Chains A and B, each alone.
Chain A
Amino acid sequence: MAETHSLQDLQQPAVSSKVFVQRDYSSGTICKFQTKFPSELESRMDKQQFEETMQSLNNLYAEAEKLGGKSYLEGCLACLTAYTIFLCMETHYEKVLKKIAKYIKDQNEKIYAPRGLLLTDPIERGLRVVEITIFEDRSIGSGR
């Protein structure tokens, strides 16, 4: 039987639930998320893929907060100018945040959206959680 889907249905999938991946504080106060695979996603995607996504995110945040030669230089220069360069220059952290946003968009397009999931950039939640929205299963064959 032909099922008709209204255009509205196709464009606005209903949210079924949300999963929150909390922060992992075992290494201190650096930004790091737990890589444990939530049970709610078991039916939707691979454990491997999820862990890979989380690990890459953690690596990117570690890069943002890294104490290295470049950050020392930036810090000293900033101090000498009474931190006024922060008003003109984009900080290292902000540059990496852009990278992270791009990475999440990529992951959503390639991996999560085809499975009816959506990753929310943690910066939109104050770097507290990675919010994964699970959309309703609108499979065409669900009536069978």
Chain B
Amino acid sequence: MKSREYQQIDPKALPTPTQSPPSHQHQAVGDDGRTPRRKWEVFPGKNRFFCDGRIMMARQSGVFPLTLGLILVTSGLFFIFDCPFLVKHLTSCIPAIGGVLFVFVLITLLQTSFTDPGILPRATPEEAADIERQIDDTGNASYRPPPRTKEVLINQQVIKLKYCFTCKMFRPPRTSHCSLCDNCVERFDHHCPWVGNCVGKRNYRFFYTFIVSLSFLTAFIFGCVTTHLALRAKGGKGLMFALQESPGSAVELAICFFSVWSILGLSGFHTYLVASNLTTNEDIKGSWSGKSGEAVTNPYSHKNIFINCCSVLCVPMPPSLIDRRGFLPADEPAQTSGVDLELPNPSTKSDINVVGGSSHLCVQGPKGLLESAALTPLLATSCPQGKPQTALPCPENTSALNSDPSLELSQRCGGTHHNSKTYGSTSPPLPTKGRLQKHKRASSHTPRSTFDDHVSPSSHDGNHRSTDRGHRGAKFATLQ
């Protein structure tokens, strides 16, 4: 070994981290031929990006405009109709408290909706080939396809990791693939149509703060409006008189009355989840309920409520693993940008480019991948084929998408907590446009057993365990 002299790789010849696009022409260009493209433009998931990649949401924004509108309208009416009266008759703290709560709610809502929930970037073709090789090696020479699960031991419990066909990797524990966004999300809680985004590892704390502050705000407004109307109706004048004097209060009363119970309930439910270090996903599937007869406990729980809360809410904010604002490397072999630490989201630099083309590369086979990888000198991540593309349907992709209805149903079950908010209207619980039909169709399948989650300590069929959480159990049943 010592007699060989290896080609010394001069680290200084390696591409140095650069923030701005290199001035030479080795950059994938945009349509106008001049501006280099950023990675968010070729991101394979179903997401929407704004402000040049700084802000992201799910492609289907669900009822996010409705949520925002309701909060703004209710708070606006509160400040216009109720605050002047209450300041005069009670105290001027009321608009101050209301203002603080309103700002809190708005900021946390926007943060929940616009933050990357913890999306895992898809595997590069080389990685995918490597994993395939490993799977084939361990498979036996039978007609059955090789197993697409891996078992790991976490805290003396066997956890099965499932292989994600879309992202071409074994999903880490607690990660789930959201079919609405077509991304694997770490510590996937649920896809929330009310905020128009998935709730996962990175934005769970925003979501939790949002629903807690919203329940305070709703309860506060409800209390203030009631006080206001009671004060106006004093002296035998009657409620109708009070409502006529302050019509806005009637609207607020209706909205708050119907929403306060569900939001409070939701906050309580999520407080329970935080205290036990569970996700909505795991709770719905009953992953740790031990109904299969084995003694399964939540291996992620620290067995201490305070530590569980801290580990969910106070853990250092993890970075975004998808590099939205990084520049795409050139199509031909060229320098690739290294880790860019100045950007707030340091992460995969050129993966997205390759992943965009991976739908082609995935049919090449490992040898083709290595050959194409060998064309690039260093950190072979450029797609040598041509322009980066958005994800074209690959055979595996469509199969993953075909299981959408059941997946959506399961994921949306997490959103049923929100569905109970009718906001004074009698519209059906599921707010989005065509999805209701899809879900009703899907309910004829086994609703939850096809949910593509890796967490399955035993081969359970995902039946919803009976909860003693009152109305929530009923709501799950009605959704099915």
Residues of A within 8 A of B (CB): 10-18, 20, 23, 25-29, 43-44, 64-67, 71-72, 74-76, 78-79, 82-84, 86, 91-94, 97-98, 101, 105, 108-109, 112-118, 120-121, 123-129, 131, 133, 135-142
Contact = CB atoms under 8 A, between A and B. Distances in A.
B6 A94 contact: no
A137 B310 contact: no
Given A126-B348, A141-B3, 16 more contacts: A15-B373, A20-B127, A20-B130, A25-B173, A29-B300, A71-B316, A72-B314, A75-B316, A82-B209, A83-B209, A84-B107, A86-B317, A92-B316, A97-B346, A126-B321, A131-B126
A67 B309 CA distance: 11
A119 B377 CA distance: 14
B123 interface: yes
A29 B346 contact: no
B380 A94 contact: no
Interface in B309-345: 310-311, 313-319, 321-322, 338-339, 341, 344
Nearest to B105: A82
A123 to B, nearest CB: 5
Closest 7 CB pairs of A and B: A75-B314, A138-B7, A116-B6, A12-B377, A113-B9, A126-B121, A82-B107
Contact of A13 (B9, B127, B152): B9
A126 B14 CA distance: 21
A27 B209 CA distance: 28
A131 B378 CA distance: 12
A15 to B, nearest CB: 5
B161 interface: yes
Contact of A82 (B104, B187, B307, B350): B104
Nearest to A19: B130
Contacts of A12: 377-378
B300 to A, nearest CB: 6
A29 B187 CA distance: 9
A26 B150 CA distance: 12
Given A138-B7, A141-B3, A28 B374 contact: no
B351 A75 contact: no
A55 to B, nearest CB: 19
Interface of B: 1, 3-11, 13-14, 17, 103-104, 107-108, 111, 120-121, 123-124, 126-127, 130-131, 152-155, 159, 161, 169, 172-174, 186-187, 205-206, 209, 299-300, 307, 310-311, 313-319, 321-322, 338-339, 341, 344, 346-351, 370, 373-374, 376-380
Given A25-B159, A123-B346, A126-B347, A139 B316 contact: no
A82 B108 contact: yes
Given A20-B130, A115-B6, A136-B7, A65 B205 contact: no
A10 B211 CA distance: 59
Contacts of A27: 154
Given A82-B104, A82-B107, A15 B347 contact: no
Given A25-B159, A71-B315, A126-B351, A137 B377 contact: no
B11 A109 contact: yes
Given A13-B377, A27-B154, A75 B313 contact: yes
Nearest to A118: B9
Nearest to B17: A101
